[in-house]
Structure 1
Amino acid sequence: MKLSTPRWWYRRDGAPSPVTRALLTPLSWIWAAQTAKRIARTQPRGADCAVICVGNFTVGGVGKTPVVRELLLNLTQRGRRAHGLARGYGGKLKGPLRVDPARHSARDVGDEPLMLAQDFPMWVSADRVAGARKAAANGAEVVVMDDGHQNPDLRKTLSLVVVDGETREDEWPFGDGKVFPAGPMREPLKVSLARTDAVVVLLPDDLPAADPELLALFGDTPVLIARLEPAAPPPKGRQVGFAGIGKPWKVERALKAAGCQLVDFAPYPDHGSYDETTLKFLWDRAQSYSAGLVTTEKDWVRLPQAWRDKVTPWPVRARFEDEGELGRLLADAGL
C-alpha cells in the first residue's frame, strides 16, 4: 500500500509534534549515512552521450517531470537528438527499453515515462547506465534523466536540481531541514548542493517572485527560475479534482488559481493506481455535484482505458523565465 506524503514534513515549527520528529531522527541519521556511503563508494560509469540529470533534494514531487519535458523540447528545437531516461518507478518492466505509448501502460513503465513518451523518445531502465547506453546506441546525443541526483552509477554531464519555490507561512520546501523519515530531505542540503551544477526554482504561475530567504540557501550555486503554468485552460463548469502526486494539495491550489470551478478535491498517494472502487467513488462524487472530473496528465495515464474519456487531463508546463540563461548553462556544459 502506498502512503501519502506527510504534509507536516514541510512545516518548520515542529508540527504536528516535536516528539514525532525526535523519534524519527535516529532513522534519518541512518538514511543519510547510507546514502553518503553509497555515493562515496561508487565509481560512476559513462555512456556514449551527454547526460543531464534532473533531480531533487527532497522525497516527493517538486515538478521534475515538466522540467525534463521542457529541456527535451529546448534541446530538440536546437537540433540535438535528445532522449529521456527514467527508472520507471511503479512499472514492472526493468528495461532497458524504449517506451511505446501504443503498447505499454503505466503498470509496465511507470506514469511519468509514459507521459513523456507521447512527445519524445523515452527509455526506462532500472540500471541507469544500461539505459543511457541503450539510448546512445539508438541515436541519442543527449540523455535527460528524470531523477537520479542521489544515484551515483551514471556519470553526469550536468546536474540540475529542481526545488519547489512556493513558500508559505506554514509550508517550506525543505521543512525544518531534516532527512527522511523525520523530514523530506533525501540528504542534508549542504551535501547535496555540493554535487549540483544549478538549481531550478519552480514557481507557480501566480507567485510574483522567489523568496529571497530560499534563494540565499543556495549560496554561489547558479539559480534558474522557471514557472509552472497551464498548457491549456482547465475544463469549464463545476469540477471534482483528484491527484496522486507528491504534493496533491498543490494541484488543488493551481486549479483554483487557473480559474477552475472546483467544488471538491481528493488527494491520493504518489504513483498510486486507481482501482474500479476508487474511480466509481470519484464518479459518484462528481455526479452528486453535477460536475466533471479533472486530474493531472500524470494521473490520467494511470487510469484504465475505459475511464479516460470520463476524466479531463489538465496539462501544465515549466517555462524558464530566462531562456538565454538556460542556453548559456547548456553551452558551458558542451551541450
Structure 2
Amino acid sequence: MQAPKFWWQRDPTLAAHLLSPLGALVGGVTLARLRTAGTAIGVPVICVGNPTVGGAGKTPTVIQLARRLFAQKHTPVIVTRGYGGRERGPLRVDPRGSTAADVGDEPLLLARAAPTYVARDRLLGAQMAAQSGADIVLMDDGFQNPAIAKTLSILVVDAGVGVGNGLCLPAGPLRAPLRPQLDRAQALLIVGEGAPGERVARDGYAAGIHVLRGRLAPDAHTVARLFGRRVLAYAGIGRPAKFFDTLRTLGVLTTVTRAFPDHHVFTASEIAELQVQAARADLLLVTTEKDAARLASTEAGRGLLEMSEVLPVRLALEPSSAKTLDRLMASALRVD
C-alpha cells in the first residue's frame, strides 16, 4: 500500500490529529522494545535503520558499508528480513539462483555486494552469519527490533521528506518518537537535500550524535544513454516521485510516470499495459534496480525488463562524512 499523503505534510491534518492517540500508543510500545537489551552474537553488529517507515536509502547505505569494509580487509555479512519474499529463513541468498518471490527484492541487491542471509528471526540470522565466518554483521533494518545487541546504529533519513508530520504510526510515518530513537543511535545519515532533512539534522546535532551526509548518485553510463530521451518511468519503491524527480534532474524527458506501492509485484495485465502504453507513444521504459529484481522473477516481468532501461544508484558520501563513518566502524570493530 502507498503511504498516506498526510503523513508527509509538516503540519498535521485532521486525519493525523484523530489518529494521534493510537500513534502515541504504537510509539510507546516501540520505545519499550527499544529499551530491551539484545543478545550479543560474538561479533560486532552495525545496524542501518530508519526512524520512519518507507524508503530512505537503507539498501544503498548497507551496500556502501559492505564495500568500505571489504576494502579495509574485513569480512562483512549482511542480515535482512527479506520483506516481500516467501522464505522465512535463515538462509543464504544466492544472487543468481534466488528470486525476489523467494527472498524479496532488496536481498538480491545486497547479495551482489556481500554474503547475505534472509531471516524473519533476526537473531537466528545474525548467529548464522557470525558462524559463517563474518568478522562483522551488517543489519539491513531492525533498529527497532530488540533481539540483537547492536554495536553501532545508523539511522537513515530521506532529506526530501524528513520525518513528515512528526507523528507515529498510523498518524504519521515515525515508528517511535524521533528524539528517543536518536538517543539510541550513534549516527544519523541525511540522504539528499531538502528542508525536511535539515530539520532532522538539527535534531541529530541536539541529540549529540554524528550527522553524516550523502546523496544517491545514478550510474553515469546509464544516464548518458537516457539523456534527452522521452521515457515512461515506472517504479514500485518507497517514494516513486523521488525516482521521477531524479530522472528530470538528469535531463531525461519523463513524458509519462507510473507509481506503484513499495515492493509491488507487477501483474501480467500491468506489465502488458506498460508495454502497450510505451509502444503507442514511442517512449523508452525506465525503472529502478529494485523493480528489476522483482520483475526478473516472472516470465512476463523478464519480457518487460528486456524493453526497459534500469537506472542503478549508489550512495555517495561527503568526504568528511566518509571519514567519520570509517572511524565509527573502526571503533565498532574494536569494541567486540
* Distance (Å, rounded) in 2 between the aligned partners of 1:230 and 1:333: 30
Q: Given that residues 12 and 175 in structure 1 are in contact (C-alpha distance below 8 angstroms), is that contact kept between their aligned partners in structure 2?
A: yes
Q: How does 1:276-287 map to 2 (within 5 A)?
A: 276-287=268-279
Tell me how far apart the structure 2 counterparts of residues 53 and 238 of structure 1 sit (CA, whole Å). Answer: 40
Q: Which residue of 2 aligns with 1:231?
A: 219
Pairing 1:189-208 to 2, within 5 Å after superposition: 189-203=178-192
Q: How many equivalent pairs are there?
A: 321
* Distance in 1 between residues matched to 2:119 and 2:31, nearest whole Å: 23
Q: Check if 1:326 corresponds to 2:325.
A: yes
**Match status 1:20 vs 2:6:** no
Aligned counterpart for 2:203 among listed residues 217, 222, 229: 217
Instruction: List 4+ stretches of structure 1 deviating above 6 A.
Output: none
Q: Is the 8 A contact 2:188 2:210 kept in 1?
A: yes
TM-score (normalised: structure 1): 0.91
72, 78, 82: which one aligns with 1:78: 72
Indicate yes or no: 2:260 matched with 1:289: no
2:134 matched to 1:136?
A: no
- Secondary structure in structure 2 of the residue aligned to 1:162: strand
Are the counterparts in 2 of residues 44 and 155 from structure 1 also a CA contact under 8 Å? yes
**Residue aligning to 1:104:** 98
Q: Determine the structure 2 residue equivalent to 1:46.
A: 40
Tell me the SS of whatever aligns to 1:199: strand
CA contact (8 A) 1:12 1:176 kept: yes
- Any conservation in 2 of the 1:320–1:326 contact (CA below 8 Å)? no
- Work out whether residues 67 and 318 of structure 1, in 8 Å CA contact, stay in contact via their aligned partners in 2: yes
- Cα distance in 1 for partners of 2:19, 2:264 equals 25
Change in Cα spacing, 1:210 to 1:180, as seen in structure 2 (3 Å) is: closer
Q: Which secondary structure state, in structure 1, belongs to the residue aligned with residue 120 of structure 2?
A: coil
- 293, 298, 302: which one aligns with 2:290: 298
What whole-Å deviation, never above 9, does each CA across 1:164-186 have from its counterpart, x for those lacking one? 123xxxxx411221111111111
Match of 1:8 in 2: 6
Shift in Å, 1:210: 9.1
Give the Å deviation of 1:320: 1.2
Going from structure 1 to structure 2, the CA distance change for 1:36 and 1:210 (only over 3 Å counts) comes to: closer
For 1:139 and 1:287, how far apart are their aligned partners in 2? Answer: 50
State the superposition RMSD in angstroms: 1.7
Matched, 1:315 2:312: yes
CA distance in 1 between counterparts of 2:164 and 2:325 reads 28
Partner of 1:186: 175
Measure, in 2, the Cα distance between the counterparts of 1:159 and 1:212. 20
Query: Separation in 2 of the partners of 1:198 and 1:23?
Result: 33
Matched, 1:64 2:58: yes
Provide the C-alpha distance between the structure 2 equivalents of 1:293 and 1:133, rounded to a whole number of angstroms: 42
- Rounded to whole Å, the distance in 2 between the matches of 1:131 and 1:124 is 7
The one of 108, 114, 118 aligned to 1:114: 108
Kindly state the Cα deviation for residue 326 of structure 1 after the two structures are TM-superposed: 1.6
The SS at the match of 1:34 is helix
Q: Judge conservation of contact 2:162–2:197 (CA < 8 Å) in 1.
A: no
* SS of aligned partner of 2:189: strand
Q: Residue 301 of structure 1: SS of its match in structure 2?
A: helix
Identity of aligned residues (%): 39
Q: Deviations over 1:264-294 (max 9, x none)?
A: 1111101110111111111111112201111
Name the TM-score, length of structure 2 as normaliser. 0.91
Aligned to 1:255: 247
Tell me the equivalent position of 1:35: 30
Show CA shifts across 1:14-72 (max 9, x none): 3xxx32112211221221122123333x4311213211100001011111100011000
Amino acid at match of 1:181: P
Q: Is the 8 A contact 2:238 2:262 kept in 1?
A: yes
**2:45–2:138 CA contact under 8 A, matched in 1:** yes
1:184–1:212 Cα change, 3 Å:
closer
Once residues 119 and 36 of structure 1 are traced to their aligned partners in structure 2, the CA distance between those partners, rounded to angstroms, is 32
Q: How many Å separate the matches in 2 of 1:30 and 1:101? A: 40
CA contact (8 A) 2:275 2:304 kept: no
Cα distance in 1 for partners of 2:259, 2:139 equals 27
Corresponding residue number in structure 2 for 1:145: 139
Helix, strand or coil at the partner of 1:334: helix
Letter in 1 for 2:306: D
Kept after mapping to 2: 8 A contact 1:300/1:311: no
**More off after superposition, 223-232 vs 270-279:** 223-232
